[in-house]
Structure 1
């Protein structure tokens, strides 16, 4: 008896055709061509979109991607690249050839220090870099070359200290390094940098068990705080007369 092939446990993902990609093209308010393929269960980078390499913005967030090919450097006009909430454990060195890149979002992936190429430092026009919710223990020293960087997200990683390269970024205005095992005595070193608050909407199945548990705990705390605030507000105004009734009494007196 001939044994059949074992079924792979890996998700096959949705196949994207060139027609589908063209239908997903949009024009932003400021006139940029944006290809939005987010949240479409894509497991393999669709090669067909290389025929649309003149776009300025590419959104592949909230998918099942494990790898970005070297061919990403074909998008020479790219200003924004959004890859958050995928399964990436490595960023290709070719990303350093996207010299017009303004914003790069790699949040909520499986990246470690090993998966970050030194070529990130070649993105000299980069203003926003989000590396939050990964497994990063350190940053490549080449990040110090990002002299135009204004916002940096490092939250929910494995950093035990703030990378020295951060202090070489002259235009850095917002830094979010929360939820890292960094000793509290290091915090004064970044007092001159505004701490950024970031919010991302993702499906529960995109989060690991620990992250999902943490999110639920934070939501319960927020609900509790809102409930207390609502109760206090009601007690503060309980004895006041409604504005309409006051107006009616005044009108009666004026008559």
Structure 2
């Protein structure tokens, strides 16, 4: 039996006030909008212990998928737990489960958002998409339980054979990314920030194929490298 309003708007509470209540069940609506860089995410984390003391404790999320959010974090945790316990915790319902959403509407949404081709997949097909502009859409993190062939430490035995340099200036710093690849995967082995171009004279880089950006903003940096003996 519920006394008073069961709704708690954590967006207008401090982390302390959020954590001061108790509950048997927490239902989070649209956690896909609770991005990890927002204060709201901290309030969300602080509110979860409200069910800690209850013997009936349940936490339920209902949301449109979105990466780097509270909802995504919980979804990933449950995916691993499903494998560990051999059960299901996630129920996925696409637009096909909603008889009021027609295929004509989906096509109209697809055309309306033609500049963001991921929109329909995220909002109607329940997919955690990588937004437009990202280089990779199929990233696998080491230790992901869904890919046991890539356990923690897997990359330690791989030696970088290639490197790429992104020039950004002294304020932001330049970046060098070292990789190797095979027919199926690109292995991103390291990313380093630096400001002194002499970093690129390291023996470790001279032994691998290194490419740098050229043209426009990058020309002064490339000219400096040529004066240092780079081809």
In which range does the TM-score fall when normalised by the shorter chain?
under 0.3
The structure where strand makes up a greater share of residues is 2
Task: Give the TM-score taking structure 1 as reference length.
Answer: 0.24
Task: Give the TM-score taking structure 2 as reference length.
Answer: 0.26
Higher RCO, 1 vs 2 (CA within 8 Å, ≥6 residues apart) = 2
